[in-house]
Structure 1
Amino acid sequence: EMMGLPYTGPGVMASAVGMNKVMSKAAFQGAGIATAPFAYYFATQDREAIAADIEQRFDLPVVIKSSGQGSSIGTVIVQQKDELRPALEEAFKYSASLVAEAFIDGDEFTVAVMDDVAFPVIQIVSSTGKYDFYSKYAPGVAKHLCPAPISPELTKKMQDLALNVFHLCHCSGVSRVDIMTDKEGHPFVLEINTVPGMTATSLVPDAARAMGMSFEDLCEKILLEASVGKF
């Protein structure tokens, strides 16, 4: 950006907000976008005080997430009280802040957005029962159901949520919004990925193929929108 070189994807602000879960979750909440109840904490705070506050605010299980990581790195689902302190230490290994988030016990979905168009919704089903780093990158472990086998109403609701998040964060190019549903089927935004994966097992290429766009055409389309001045 500073050198005036065209680049793909969102600008500096969108990428910074999207990469920090404290900032993005606060933005979702402030804009009235459905997201799981959360609280955030900093590495400078006393660990016992953090643990006590989380125990007061949340029922178990609770999800502890490092604020500046992706691919489930630094993310721990705490099932037992004695797992909380180790989870805090794990999250703080990667970032100076973390998010504690209510556990949403439902299905996992994702929606890519490009050029103000929401791609088909993908439902993610992992054979291990959890969508962690291994499930995301080991071929064949996670299935991507696209279009997701859900109602047209829920599909539209998720696509609208993704577009709202995309606009809120001032995104451009391709971004991907991750969503969970609770047991009643209500969708909650987890996060936005401003530089989504583009590997053989990645989600955006799958969604593009479902709408008739080849991987080669997707890459060319991304390259053609490269620009500067996206702050």
Structure 2
Amino acid sequence: MSTVFPTPRLTNPAGFGRVAVLMGGTSAEREVSLASGGNVLDALRARGVDAHAVDGIPALVAALVEKKFDRVFNILHGNKGGGEDGVLQGLCEALGVPVTGSGVLGSALAMDKIRTKQVWLALGLPTPRYVRLAKGAKVQDAARELGLPVIVKPACEGSSVGITRVFDEAGLDAAVELATRYPGELLVEQLVTGGEYTVGVLGDVALPSIRIVPAGEYYDYHAKYQAEDTQYLCPGLAGDDEAAIRRLALAAFRAAGCRGWGRVDVMRDAAGNNWLLEVNTAPGMTSHSLVPKAAREMGLSFEDLCWRVLETSLGDGEGGHA
């Protein structure tokens, strides 16, 4: 596992051409995406990149049809109007426009937590036990099969949207009611008690892990994007434990067909076992976001990180000149 970044492929910002920074959209994560996108836009412009904000996929389509952009920095979050479910990637591929991050397969697979788990389990990678809650199925049966406590969540949302931790049967129906407000299937997952970690991936490098210590009981939406008292310990582990969680995250990222950059979320139980939760293929880039914190630990400024992410849109024949 590499722990050193390769030399940048481009040094002249003109080599990127005209860049669309795609943000906003219509998913449940619109506000987070707008915050991320504004930061990315400022960083790229500060480095001399000809970057422009585009809000949502329909606006991008209109601009690409008119050939206004040479490539896309995707910082949309979520699905159904977000840019992490493979739809945007298929569009860009069909139009021959490079886009940052994972392609159609990796994006679509990682957005679906159930299918991601199926791939990981097939490869022997550790992930908490789960039950797919089919339409009409009783959540009580799933909870009994797994054993309480459990987590009930939409299978295809991010940013802790629609998630409930349930410790007794009395809370199950309300958890399902919340999760069904969002499209797609539901997932009932065994709750792992322990430390919350995340590992960013940039190219072939797994970034230092981050241990997340919220002031409250859980790392929920408020703790992620609003609270100022959440602690981020980076690196989150040391020695062999740190190396192991980074190897696992990189293996999980690749197994899901992902490439370019992303973030893998992991729980670590009291016995020191790591459990994979999900992959984010367009992680947040807000003031509270995790990938920038880990990149900074390896000496990459926010501007450097945005440049490197933009380089993930370069094809094999690009970037060989200054």
- Compute the RMSD of aligned alpha carbons: 1.4
Q: Specify the alignment match of 1:3 in structure 2.
A: 95
Q: Is the 8 A contact 1:112 1:204 kept in 2?
A: yes
Q: Which among 110, 120, 128 is matched to residue 208 of structure 2? A: 120
Q: How does 1:132-211 map to 2 (within 5 A)?
A: 132-148=220-236, 150-211=237-298
Distance in 2, Cα, partners of 1:26 & 1:50 = 21
Q: Deviation of residue 51 (structure 1)?
A: 2.0
Indicate whether 1:23 and 2:111 are aligned.
no
Instruction: Give the Å deviation of 1:173.
Output: 1.4
1:71 maps to: 159
TM-score between both structures, scaled by the size of structure 1 = 0.93
Distance in 2 between the 1:157 and 1:96 partners?
A: 33
* In 2: Cα distance, 1:127 partner to 1:52 partner: 31
TM-score by length of 2: 0.67
In 1: Cα distance, 2:101 partner to 2:188 partner? 28
Letter in 2 for 1:111: V
Instruction: Report the alpha carbon displacement of residue 66 of structure 1 after superposing the two structures with TM.
Output: 0.5
- 2:179 is the alignment partner of 1:87: no
| C-alpha contact 1:7 1:228 (8 A) present in aligned 2 | no
Q: Which amino acid aligns with 1:61?
A: P
CA deviation vs aligned residue, 1:174-204 (integer Å, no higher than 9, x gap): 1100000112111100101111111111000
Higher relative contact order, chain-length normalized (CA < 8 Å, sep 6+): 1
Q: Deviations over 1:102-127 (max 9, x none)?
A: 11010000001111111011100001
CA distance, structure 1, for counterparts of residue 240 and residue 235 of structure 2: 13
Instruction: Give the AA of the match of 1:135.
Output: A
Tell me the CA shift for residue 90 of structure 1. 1.3
Amino acid at match of 1:180: M
Q: Contact 1:180/1:189 (CA < 8 Å) preserved in 2? A: yes
Indicate the residue corresponding to 1:33 in structure 2.
Answer: 125
Offset of residue 139 of structure 1: 4.3
- AA at the equivalent of 2:311: L
> How many Å separate the matches in 2 of 1:93 and 1:228?
39
Gaps (5+ residues) in structure 1?
Answer: none
| SS in structure 2 of the partner of residue 52 of structure 1 | helix
- Percent of matched pairs sharing the same residue: 39
The alpha carbon displacement at 1:23 in A equals: 1.0
Which of 105, 126, 133 is the matching residue for 1:13? 105
Tell me which amino acid in the other structure corresponds to 1:183.
Answer: A
Q: Which residue of 1 aligns with 2:46?
A: none
- Counterpart in the other structure of 2:307: 220
CA contact (8 A) 1:17 1:169 kept: yes
Could you tell me which amino acid in structure 1 is paired with residue 302 of structure 2?
F
Give the distance between the partners of 1:67 and 1:95, measured in 2 at CA. Answer: 9
Q: Which amino acid aligns with 2:154?
A: S
Q: Give the counterpart letter for 2:197 in structure 1.
A: F
Moved more, 54-63 or 129-138: 54-63
Cα pair 1:60 1:79 within 8 Å, conserved: yes
Alpha-carbon offset, residue 160 of structure 1? 0.8
Q: Which runs of 5+ in 2 are unaligned?
A: 1-92, 317-322
Letter of the aligned partner of 1:138 in structure 2? Q
Deviations 1:126-161 (A, max 9, x none): 01121000000014132111111x231111111111
Aligned AA (1:31): L
2:151 pairs with 1:59:
no
Aligned to 1:96: 184
Give me the whole-angstrom Cα distance separating, in 2, the residues matched to 1:173 and 1:52. 40
